[in-house]
Every structure is written in C-alpha cells, then in structure tokens.
Homo-oligomer: A and B are copies of this chain.
Amino acid sequence: MQPDAAQRPTLADVAARAGVSQSTASLAFSGSGPVSDATKQRVLAAASDLGYAGPDPRARSLRRGRSGIVGVVLEERVRAAFLDPVKIQMLDGISEGIAPLGAGLLLLTDTGETDESAVSIESAPVDAVVLVGCSPRLGVSIEALRRRGIPAVAIEGDTGEDIPEISIDNLQATRRGAEYLRQLGHTDVAIVTLPFDAARTRGPLTEELLRSSTAATASQRLAGAREIFPEATGRAAAASSIEEGIEAARALLADPASRPTAIIAQSDLLAAGVIQAAEELGMHVPGDVSVLGFDGIRVDGLQHDLTTLAQPSVAKGRAAGEAVVQMLSGEPPESRCFTSTLHVGDTTAPPRAAC
C-alpha cells in the first residue's frame, strides 16, 4: 500500500502476476501436486520477474511443522567444544547420519544462562536434538524438549530420561586397559578423570566428589579401572584438555616417594598433558611411568604413539544422526552401545623394577 520502497514479494504477489491462485503457485514451487507444465513455467517466470526468492522458510516451517534443522547441544561453549577432537569427530558423524534429511545443523550450547530471547535449547526451531556429552544439569531443558515434543538423542550423557542413548562400553573398556597395565606388572596406578560435576571441580578424588557425581562417563571409566585396581586414587580434571592433564599430573607426581608407576587418563588430551608434565619432571615415558589414554585421537604435538582405548567417535555421531532420522520418521528410537578397542602404543611398559 505504501510507496515504501521494496516490500519483498510474497507467493501471493507471484500468483497474482501469473494469473493463478495462490495454491497453484505454491504447488508449482513445492512440486507436491499436479500442476501442468505450462502453468508451472508461468509461475516461475512471474517469480523471476518479481525477484521472488522462493517460499519464506519461516512461514513454510510454521505450516509444515518442520524446520529442517537439527540442533546439536554442546555442554561447553563453541570454542571449547571445537578444541576437543572427539567432539568434532562426533559432529562430523552426526552430519553424516542426518544427511538423508537434508537438514541443517544448529549449534547450541548449554551455557546455563537463560538469556531472554536468545536461541536456546528451550526455544530453537529444531525438529530434533542431539545432546553431546551432556550432564543432567540439562534436566530443565530436557523437560522442555519433552513438552515441546522434540525428539532427542544423547551421546554419552546419562539423561535419566527415556531418551535413546548412544554410548560406548566405558566401564569394560577401561577395565580392559587397566587389566593390560596389571599384566605389565603395575600395581601402583593413579587415575586422572574427567570432571564429575557441573561445577567441574578440580582436585583429588574424594569419596564425596564421587558420590555427588553427575557425569556417568567419568564414573563408569573410574569404576572400570577400580575393578582391577580397587585402591587406585587420583585427581579429577576440570576439563578434557592437555592443560588440565598437566595440572593433574604435576600434583600426582609431585612427591618422588609416592609416584605411581602408571597413570590412567580418561581422555587422550589428559594423557598428553600427563606425559608432558612427567617429562617436564625429568621422568621418562614409559620407562618411569606408563600412561594410558582414552579416545584414540591424534593429539596435537604429542611425540608418542599413545596407548589408549580407541572409541569409534565418528560412528557414534553417525548412529546418533541415524537415530534422529528414525525418530523423525516415526520409528521407535534405538539406543546403541559401541565397543572400544585397546590400542597399544609406546607409552606403556612394565614398571621399572623397584630398587
């Protein structure tokens, strides 16, 4: 109505110009329905004349009830997540798994802040959601998802709900790794764990910390190790990073009199940190201390072939993506548990004979 510059043309405008009804114009675009070729061409021509760029995705998604977007919820901020190779591999797997949907991937972070008007897990136009390594801290958000009827899949996160879960044999894998260390002759083993709680408390493994654990992954891996080394103690890191590994190892190796002969790290990044700290202290790996990792990634700058429990990260992501596809097509969701394999590198060896 107003001489207001360029009101963007709508489907109605196109239809009018092509001399057809709006419904026909819609069909010409979406292709779902019988439209004569001539009409279709006419509509397309009109659209082109008007500079119409195709149906508005917002209106379309409102009507269709689908947005064509799958959300990926990362517990950390984007920066942190991208620094973790495991996360990236999963992301890649997810994008592969949902490929048949032709859907986009929306990065969501569970920062805990409930910013008004911000696009959060509770208010994002997504058709489904993949929770990557999320703690139950997400309880509220998950509840919102359930209410909104948005299907969700969790990767390595004990959601405690009826959400299908893609996981690995954390406990058994770690036990296998620990068993290997015992076979090498180790008896004095320390553990560097992933964070146990939302606060990411860093420090010694106290009973209290374990009791308050909300991170299944860390707990399970610890349990697996303790099935072999019941007395094993250690430290919890505040994140899965080299930095944190260094920090933890410095504490564990501080006193030359009480040094363990092997350290089980719950991630390769932590393991890399442990190795670095050990070497800084003049220790030799695996001569003075064996180091076992978890993940099976290549760690930036690490000069060793890490002995580790290799997990199929990409496959996990893909499985999650496939589960999303299933759920969206009405099939019942399906949890899956993958198996990790022990990769023996050059960071483990029999303990140096006590002198």
Contacts and interface: CB of A to CB of B under 8 A. Distances in A.
A300 interface: yes
Contacts of A118: 68, 102-103
Given A68-B119, A78-B91, A103-B118, 5 more contacts: A54-B148, A57-B123, A69-B119, A79-B95, A107-B107
Count chain B CB atoms within 10 A of each CB in A65, A96, A122, A148 and give the residue with the most: A148
Given A78-B95, A103-B119, A57 B125 contact: yes
A59 interface: yes
A105 interface: yes
Nearest to A66: B58
Interface residues of A, number: 53
Contacts of A302: 301
Contacts of A103: 118-119
Given A52-B147, A53-B122, A57-B123, A104 B106 contact: yes
Interface in A75-127: 77-79, 82, 88, 91-92, 95-96, 102-108, 115-119, 122-125
The DSSP consensus for interface residues of chain A is loop
A148 B59 CA distance: 14
Nearest to A52: B147
Contacts of A104: 71, 106-108, 119, 124
Interface of A: 8, 31, 51-59, 61-62, 65, 67-69, 71, 77-79, 82, 88, 91-92, 95-96, 102-108, 115-119, 122-125, 144, 147-149, 298-303
Please give the count of copies of this chain that the complex contains: 2
B57 A144 contact: no
Given A95-B78, A107-B107, A102 B117 contact: yes
A152 to B, nearest CB: 13
> Nearest 3 A-B pairs (CB), nearest first?
A102-B118, A53-B147, A104-B119
A124 B144 CA distance: 24
Contacts of A54: 122-123, 144, 148
Given A8-B149, A57-B123, A303 B300 contact: no
Contacts of A91: 78, 82
A108 B56 CA distance: 17
A273 to B, nearest CB: 15
Nearest to A79: B92
A57 B124 contact: yes
Nearest to A9: B147
